[in-house]
Structure 1
Amino acid sequence: MTEPTTAPLLSVRDLSVAFAREGSTALAVDHVSFDIQRGETLALVGESGSGKSVTALSILKLLQYPAASHPSGQVLFEGKDLLAMSEREIRSVRGNDITMVFQEPMSSLNPLHTVEHQIVEILELHGRLRGAAARKRVIELLTEVGIPEPETRLGSYPHQLSGGQRQRVMIAMALANEPRLLIADEPTTALDVTVQAQILKLLKDLQTRLGMTMLFITHDLGIVQKIADRVCVMKSGRIVEHGSVRDVFGAPQHPYTRALIAAQPKGEPAPSQPDAPLIMETKDLKVWFPIKRGVLRRTVGHVKAVDGVSLAIHRGETLGVVGESGSGKTTLGLALLRLISSRGPIVFMGQPIDALGFKAMRPRRNAMQVVFQDPFGSLSPRMSVADIVGEGLRVHMPKLSEAEREAKVIAALRDVGLDPETRHRYPHEFSGGQRQRVSIARAIVLEPSFVVLDEPTSALDMIVQAQIVDLLRDLQKQRGLTYLFISHDLRVVSALASRILVMRGGKVVEEGDSRSIFRNPREAYTKALFAAAFNLDTASEKATT
């Protein structure tokens, strides 16, 4: 790590950010100041809605103007005020001197362009590389960020990648021009623990090699301790504590900082009840995607996303599904809900559903719901929160009056910890964690029997994460809900799931009671996952075990 100099690379001075709302303004960032020295990593931490991402977006003037404004402040990059730059001037800085990895890759990647096209575009835009040299650089970047067989992924579109793979593509794009400052907004949110450790190691290695400076935004305090030199703690738009990582974590002064450090999912999962009725069952389930090549697009092979998986979930229990990105976890959940095609019997509440078409499935949709991994990509930007949460009620409970429907929406928002008064706002007005809570409210408002939870806490800060786990457990107890819980966060899985499936390459490599697997994992791959989750220092070494 380079030694700090008297002239920081980036200096944020007295920054305030206000948003115009219905004739008034709301202050999202309130007189924030910090410096980032050359070659160091500064972490910005705090709960959802604390102003972390808004601060980061302000640095590159990426907020929606004029709805957003800066009542005060400067952002000095090498002495030049970025906020005072014209749009043309700031464009020369974006993607070249300063780059950013966004929290939600699906909303940042262009769904109409391939992976190769999107990375090459960045290289060409800044006049770095073209043609064969650019293609070679793309392959190098994809290799660096841990995407296997990168040559085969050049022609892939974002929807053909897992959530973790999409995030890795975003990181590759951000690093393409070897920036001097990398702003990483939750860059490991969608990654499994083994790849998370590899990405953190990659960022540290690049920082050393390139002398790169980082502003690292995260809700995972374990990551902060591993990667950051200094930390600023934000609450309600203000920095309430700052200092070296050792000082802040070793002796936190502010009550909020102490609450953040102490927050983690607690409690015991609801016990499995083998005598309870079966809610979901499948045997030898397969989801194979064809690989087509040549002018005639002939099938030359298959991607075996789910390859012979069997499971049975009883009423009131939670089955956790863990594994690295691309292991087939999400594909399994979508297949069980009949949202993608599959082969093999699927029995839901005693009735076979694997042969049912769209119309036949529709009356059953209210009983089976899903919370997707990427809340921004699954929430319509043109609908208010009230309309989003209430949309399913209009479809499945059309006889409800307007007042009854609104009452259910309000109750669902309260259940997930959102202020019902915000229900007339739109998704872009909420933080990533708040948007995820909207997604959970949309799922539970229909009072389903079976819910697929696909990384439901991945976008949440530690305090809210613990609250959501408690909420999911309480809802399960009160309503007899059954969950398929997909997650790469093993700490959350241990608090919520009574049984676990460990997946790798589309297959189940280990399964059983969660307590037994956590205490004594049998398979080498499971041991590597646990080592990565609870000791990131060893993860990159054991990830390939």
Structure 2
Amino acid sequence: MNSTEPLLQIEDLSVAFHQEGRTTLAVDHVSLTLNKGETLAVVGESGSGKSVTALSCVRLLPYPAASHPSGRILFKGRDMLTLSPKELQKVRGNDITMIFQEPMTSLNPLHRVEKQIGEILRRHRGLSERAARERTVELLTAVGIRDPETRLESYPHQLSGGQRQRVMIAMALANEPDLLIADEPTTALDVTVQAQILALLKEIQARMGMAMLFITHDLGIVRKIADRVAVMTDGKVVETGPTEEVFTNPQHEYTRHLLAAEPKGNPPEPDPNAPIVVETKDLKVWFPIKRGLMRRTVDHIKAVDGIDLTVRKGETLGVVGESGSGKTTLGFAILRLISSDGRIVFMGDSIDGRSWSGMRPLRSKMQIVFQDPYGSLSPRMSVGEIIAEGLRIHSGKNAQERDEAVVKVLREVGLDPAMRSRYPHEFSGGQRQRIAIARALVLEPDFIMLDEPTSALDRSVQAQVVDLLREVQERHDLTFLFISHDLQVVRALANEVIVMRGGKVVERGATRDIFEAPKTEYTRALMAAALYHEQAPPEVVAD
């Protein structure tokens, strides 16, 4: 490779997908360059071709269902599209590594964290078992995971979404690659940890001279980390240039649209005398820590530790806090998806003592939108079947009525009903999240737990979904438990907010009071971190 040549050069690249006799052009004659030590951010709405372009660089598309009608991808002067499988294997994991958007589907659910990171270190760097363990602890510490020695024994399902993503980042950085492709690497992370991870990536990049191809929909992150930015829509690059220049003087109408898009407005005013939908008293979820040959319990992770809350009909309770604070575990406990201690009352009935079968009649009344849309959608079912499944089990509607309901809810979430015969893998991450929202809405339940429902969506679609949720809530008098690390979205949707840390509530109150006059130091740190793209990242405690 000539020292004056770009590290990565994409020339006139096109990507086509072929299915059922149809050919769709996902990437349309894209050209990009990335120099050693530089960060290029590729931004655009879901379905714009960002991730497809990135996956093409390491040939991870579903071939032969995908093809490249035109173009070259030169890495260190070699065309990635013509390398043999053996040559590709040498490049992947060593010279080029990748952080994927959805960590739960990227991590092996059967292996502990230590094995998954250690395997990379032993295979690519020849480290001994002991050296690999020590290096794994260093990596976990570097990406902000608290008590890394304890987390070595954890399986992916025992970690929060943000913790899983940080494990993925540790794996990607283990071999100190020349090029890191980061596909929405901070999507699952709260704002304080976003600041940590971005600072970490920049520090490692400066030390290693590593280049980054950064795929994201978060323009605040782009401004903080990227040297140059390329804006994509409909498979084409419509604008590219130095980051500050693009932000301060955007030339293309689509770029101006992206920069102007953000969730706005206020939630519907709740009735203070409305009936209570959900109430908890001294709710606890403790996970045992087991060690030794006999796997004896030596301690507990107190994911939820004595929480009281009340949510009335038509109200949205926002739950915020750093990754691992217990937000999602709290929601799962309320829905009786995991075991817990303490009292849970739903629509006036105590449900904490109900069996799994005893909960079934209530499932249509309490729904959930999961954080990871791909992991929660069956790959063997079409979108129409996924959304209609709940109707088939709970509603008693015939096939035609179910299909009409599916068509209606797909329109509500901004998707073309004609796509209901397609499968989840044919949609972008943002589109899959909208499908998950449609599945929850179609039964018109009384209570919906929304676990980071906008985390996979670009900013303009976030605004649309926020507006949609408000409209649906007002129309059906729905009650939401809204879990999110995106404080701007929480402010637009929640009537009241509780702030969690270490399994406990550290502050609660009306949304306006929490945002404008936070009482605790921790809450003030969260609010400051939400503005990290406008100021220096705050000091935060590791997860």
Q: TM-score of the superposition, structure 1-length normalised?
A: 0.98
2:280 equivalent in structure 1: 282
Q: Is the 8 A contact 2:268 2:470 kept in 1?
A: yes
1:64-94 Cα deviation digits (max 9, x unpaired)? 1000000011000011000111111111000
User: Structure 1: any 5+ residue segments left out of the alignment?
Assistant: none
Shift of 1:542: 4.6
Q: Distance in 1 between matches of 2:102 and 2:290?
A: 29
Aligned-partner residue type, residue 504 of structure 2? K
Gap change, CA 1:102 and 1:544, over 3 Å in 2: closer
Alignment match, 1:409: 406
1:299 matched to 2:268? no
Report the equivalent of 1:418: 415
Q: State the match for 1:524 in structure 2.
A: 521
Query: For 1:412 and 1:542, how far apart are their aligned partners in 2?
Result: 41
1:87-106 matches, within 5 Å, as 87-106=85-104
Residue of structure 2 in register with 1:255 after alignment: 253
Aligned residues: 541
Provide the C-alpha distance between the structure 2 equivalents of 1:484 and 1:168, rounded to a whole number of angstroms. 25
- Secondary structure of the corresponding residue to residue 64 of structure 1: coil
1:378-424: CA deviations, max 9, x gaps?
A: 11111111111111111102x31111111111111111111111111
The answer as to 2:28 corresponding to 1:22 is: no
**What amino acid is aligned across from residue 229 of structure 2 in structure 1?**
V
Q: Which runs of 5+ in 2 are unaligned?
A: none
- 2:74 is paired with a residue whose SS is strand
Residue 141 of structure 1 is matched in structure 2 by 139
Q: Which residue among 200, 205, 219 is the counterpart of 1:202?
A: 200
Once the two structures are TM-superposed, the CA of residue 301 in structure 1 deviates from its matched residue by 1.6
The answer (yes or no) to whether the contact 2:122–2:129 under 8 Å persists in 1 is no
Residue 126 (structure 1) shift: 1.6
Contact 1:307 1:507 in 2 (8 A): yes
Structure 1, residues 445-485: CA drift from partner, whole Å, max 9, x if none?
A: 11101000000000000110100000000000101010000
Report the more deviating stretch, 284-293 or 144-153: 284-293
Distance in structure 1 (CA, Å) of the matches to 2:343 and 2:288: 21
SS at match of 1:91: helix
Residue identity matched to 1:256: Y
Partner residue of 1:112?
Answer: 110
> SS state of the match for residue 344, structure 1?
strand
Which residue in 2 is equivalent to 1:394? 392
Q: Quick one: distance in 2 between partners of 1:421 and 1:535?
A: 41
Partner amino acid for 2:185? P
**AA in 1 matched with 2:405:** K
CA contact (8 A) 1:528 1:539 kept: no
Given that 2:447 and 2:479 are in contact with CA atoms closer than 8 Å, whether structure 1 keeps it comes out as yes
Does structure 1 retain, via aligned residues, the 8 Å contact 2:317–2:497?
Answer: yes
Match of 2:469 in 1: 472
SS of the residue aligned with 1:177? Answer: coil
AA aligned to 2:195 is A
Of 413, 434, 437, 1:437 maps to: 434
> Shift in Å at residue 6 of structure 1?
3.6
**SS where residue 229 of structure 2 aligns?**
strand
Higher mean displacement: 107-116 or 528-537: 528-537
Q: CA deviation at 1:535?
A: 2.7
The more displaced of 271-280 and 209-218 is 271-280
Q: Is the 8 A contact 1:5 1:38 kept in 2?
A: no
1:187 aligns to 2:179 (yes or no): no
Alignment match of 1:338 (pick from 320, 324, 336): 336
What amino acid maps onto 2:494 in structure 1? A
1:269 to partner: Cα distance: 1.4
The Cα of 1:135 is off from its aligned counterpart by 1.1
**Per-residue deviation at 1:5?**
6.6
Match of 1:456 in 2: 453
Contact 2:178 2:211 survives alignment (8 Å): yes
Q: Runs (4+) of structure 1 moved beyond 6 Å?
A: none
Structure 2 CA distance for aligned equivalents of residues 358 and 49 of structure 1: 38
Q: How much has 1:540 moved relative to structure 2?
A: 3.7
Which whole-Å deviations, capped at 9, do the CAs of 1:184-215 have from their partners, x for residues lacking one?
Answer: 00000011111110000000000100000000
Q: CA RMSD in A?
A: 1.3
* 1:126 aligned to which of 124, 127, 145: 124
Check whether the contact 2:6–2:34 (CA below 8 A) recurs between aligned residues. Answer: yes
Match among 367, 377, 380 for residue 379 of structure 1: 377
Q: Deviations over 1:233-289 (max 9, x none)?
A: 000000011101111100111111000000000001122322111110011111111
**Residue by residue, what CA displacement relative to the aligned partner does 1:147-169 show, whole Å, maximum 9, x if unpaired?**
01111111111001000000000
Give the letter aligned to residue 205 of structure 1: E
Is the Cα–Cα contact under 8 Å of residues 532 and 538 in structure 2 kept in the other structure?
A: no
Q: CA deviation at 1:127?
A: 3.5
Once residues 211 and 126 of structure 2 are traced to their aligned partners in structure 1, the CA distance between those partners, rounded to angstroms, is 21
User: For the residues of structure 2 that align with 1:422 and 1:440, how far apart are their CA atoms?
Assistant: 16
Which residue does 2:65 correspond to in 1?
Answer: 67
